[in-house]
Amino acid sequence: MHHKNLTLSILIFTILFACQPASEEESETEQSSLPNIVFILADDMGYGDPASYNPESKIPTPNIDRIAQNGVRFTDAHSPGPWCVPSRYGLITGQYPYRTQLNWRERALIDPDQRTIAELLKEHGYRTGMVGKWHLGFDNIDWGDIPEGQEFQGGPTDHGFDEFFGMHASLDIPPYFYIEGDRAVEVPSDTVADNQSADATTTISGAFWRGGDMAPNFNHEEVLPTFTERAVSFLEQQSADQPFFLYLALTAPHTPWVPTEEFVGTTSVGEYGDFTKQVDHTVGAIASTLESLGYTENTLFIFTSDNGPVWFPEDVEKFDHRSTASLRGMKIDHWEGGHRIPFVAQWPEEIPAGTVRDDLLGFTDVYATLAAVVGDTTASNEKDSYNMLPAFQNVATEPIRSEMIIGENAVRQGSWKFIRDGGAGGLGRNYGYRGQEAPPPVDELYNLAEDLSETNNLAEDQPEKVDELNALLPAAQE
């Protein structure tokens, strides 16, 4: 009887000890083994802008190209929609943007109980910071009347970011002002008129912005340098004892194309080329800061763009530069030029230098991939998000994902791509036909392995494939 009690006591003690939370020392050891993560999202940079993707590019991008040289370059990476809002929603939540209404002016698009990549990382001990363009809405905001002390609810600091400094939307959408945390740095109490470059190829190119309310000390040209400085400052304030996550969401080279004096005239591609070169300079500033602080070796550093560029045929003719390389279309279009984007990453401890992968990859996959990086097994977005870490590490030998939804009207299945009602978006239809009427929308089917430029529509020849792929699109599933 005595031995039975002793055995029972030992068993209870063992169970209780095993169930105890990790000690502070153990927790710190786990945190110190995790990599820092820096994610830079350019705004409207084309697949053909970085030289690492397009050897004929007229824009120098040595810092972006260096990430590709030191790590991995994905050639079949996509934003989950061909414009700003769906791209960011898919990135931050790991879910396809068609699953919500994208009415960002009316509400915060991310639900209060929806887990984000910032919350995921914060749960694993990360210090999380965001600098730049949010564009996922706030709750209870009257954009025409923002009083002093207005609390911006439903933004970055309500979804896992310890710090936020940035803007509510794009650099051409008023009101123009900075937000820090959940308050305006200065409320937009002044106004600014419409602006446009004198020699812009279209009315929405060049130094274009819409007139509206603006904070007294806001200056469009200073936004990119300001975001760069704040991102560098965030890195400098971090401790080597705690992993950090920096999400730097640039407003460039989205319009207005407003390079600072240092970059004006430094490329042959006008304001756009100069502004894109300045974006590359920002990437270099972040990389240099990581190096000077001794963080490079243990940092997963990702650079990509939210969607395709605003780059019309007139721009190609004027500057002899193809911002989408051989891809058809541009921003808003469902052709490849609208959503196939540069995506490069380096992590010296894990990613072999000079890796090139043709895996199908999307922004929604960042969620599951980062979960794998930190060893999280509770990711709940598996239906839209795939762990692409084996592709990053160049050890995957089979496709990790074979299908992908883009926006609401396009779907990939292997090399096949179907676009319901055609690929032309609003920008191309409204501004890109030089006064001629845009062609009527028709279903489009392409085999990208044979026709990456989407010139040979196979929809009429392959009706069974059209039906198969159309059934995968959201409207067909409702």
Alpha carbons 137 and 122: distance in angstroms, whole number: 22
Assess whether 87 and 144 both reside in one domain. yes
pLDDT band at 476 (very low <50, low <70, confident <90, very high): low
Q: What is the mean pLDDT of the chain?
A: 92
Residues 6+ apart with CB under 8 A from 98: 86, 405, 407, 408, 474
Asked whether residue 20 is assigned to any structural domain, the reply reads no
The pLDDT, as a whole number, for residue 6 is 43
| pLDDT at position 20 | 53
Sign of the CA dihedral 367, 223, 431, 329?
A: negative
* Averaged pLDDT, 328-350: 97
Report if residue 164 sits inside a domain: yes
Amino acid at 419: I
Residues 387 and 413 in one domain: no
Show which of 373, 398, 423 is a domain's final residue: 398
Q: What is the domain count for the chain?
A: 2
Report yes or no on 11 lying in a domain. Answer: no
CA 167 to chain centre: 15
- The reply to whether 35 and 164 lie within a common domain is yes
The Cα–Cα gap between 66 and 335 comes to 28
In whole angstroms, give the CA distance from residue 276 to residue 264.
Answer: 11
Same domain for 165 and 212, yes or no, is yes
pLDDT band of residue 382 (cuts 50, 70, 90) is low
Please report, in angstroms and rounded to a whole number, the separation of the first and last CA atoms in the chain. Answer: 66
Helix segments in 293-312, DSSP class H: none
Please check whether residues 394 and 416 belong to one and the same domain. no
More confident residue, 15 or 342: 342
Query: In Å, how far are 273, 349, 375, 429 from 30, measured between CA atoms?
Result: 44, 17, 10, 53
Q: Phi first, then psi: what are they for 112, rounded to 5°?
A: -55, -35
| C-alpha to C-alpha distances, 23 to 16, 243, 376, nearest whole angstrom | 14, 18, 19
Mean pLDDT across the stretch 437-443?
A: 78
- Mean pLDDT to the nearest integer, 102-123: 96
Last residue of a domain, one of 398, 430, 449: 398
Question: Which tens digits make up the pLDDT trace of 3-39?
Answer: 444 444 444 444 444 445 545 444 455 556 899 999 9
Quick one: pLDDT band at residue 438, thresholds 50, 70, 90? low
In this predicted structure, the answer to whether residue 462 has a pLDDT above a threshold of 90 is yes
Same domain for 313 and 442? no
Residue with tokens 């502070």: 24
The pLDDT score that the predictor gives to residue 149 is 93
Evaluate if residue 47 carries a pLDDT over 70: yes
How far is Cα of residue 381 from the mean position of the Cα atoms in its chain? 18
Whole-number pLDDT of residue 11? 45
Look at residue 12 in the predicted model and tell me its pLDDT.
43
Residue 356 main-chain phi, psi, to 5 deg: -125, 125
The answer to the question of residue 293 being in a domain is: yes
459 or 140: which leads in pLDDT: 459
pLDDT at 285: 98
Same domain, residue pair 280 and 314 = yes
Asked if residue 36 and residue 67 are part of one domain, the reply reads yes
Asked if residues 82 and 339 have their Cβ atoms less than 8 Å apart, the reply is yes
d(C-alpha 294, C-alpha 100), whole Å: 41
pLDDT for the residue 26: 46
355 and 424 housed in the same domain: no
Looking at residue 33, what is its pLDDT? 87
443: pLDDT strictly greater than 80 = yes
Q: What is the pLDDT of residue 432?
A: 58
Question: Over the stretch 143-195, which tens digit does the pLDDT of each residue have?
Answer: 999 999 999 999 999 999 999 999 999 999 999 999 999 999 999 999 999 99
Q: Are strands 410-413 and 416-419 parallel, antiparallel or unpaired?
A: antiparallel
Q: Cβ-count burial of 450 within 10 angstroms (0-12 exposed, 13-18 middle, 19+ buried)?
A: exposed
Asked, as a colleague might, if the bond just before 97 is cis with ω within 30 of 0, I would say no
Last-in-domain residue among 363, 398, 433: 398
Among residues of the chain, what percentage have pLDDT more than 70?
90
Instruction: Please state, in angstroms and as integers, the Cα–Cα distance from residue 430 to each residue in 81, 116, 168, 186, 255, following that order.
Output: 19, 35, 26, 35, 17
Q: Is residue 276 part of a domain?
A: yes
Range of the domain at 474: 408-478
Q: Are residue 392 and residue 457 in the same domain, yes or no?
A: no
Q: How many other CB atoms sit within 10 Å of the CB of residue 193? A: 9
Provide the CATH number for the domain around residue 111: 3.40.720.10
Which token pair is 98? 């068609």
What does the alpha-carbon distance between residue 85 and residue 30 come to, in Å, rounded to a whole number? 35
pLDDT for the residue 380? 57
Looking at the structure, do residues 391 and 416 belong to the same domain, yes or no? no
The CB-based long-range contact list for 138-146 (8 Å cut-off, 24+ gap) reads: 138/107, 138/108, 138/168, 139/107, 139/108, 143/105, 143/174, 143/175, 144/213, 146/175, 146/177, 146/184, 146/187, 146/188, 146/213
How high is the pLDDT of residue 441? 84
Q: Is residue 64 part of a domain?
A: yes
Residue 455: CATH number of its domain: 3.30.1120
Cis (ω within 30 of 0) for the bond into 309? no
Are residue 59 and residue 116 in the same domain, yes or no?
yes
Which residues have CB under 8 Å from 166's CB, separation 6+? 130, 131, 132, 133, 134, 156, 178, 179, 227, 249
Per-residue buried b or exposed e for 19-30, using 16+ beta carbons within 10 Å of the residue's own CB: eeeeeeeeeeee
pTM of the model: 0.92
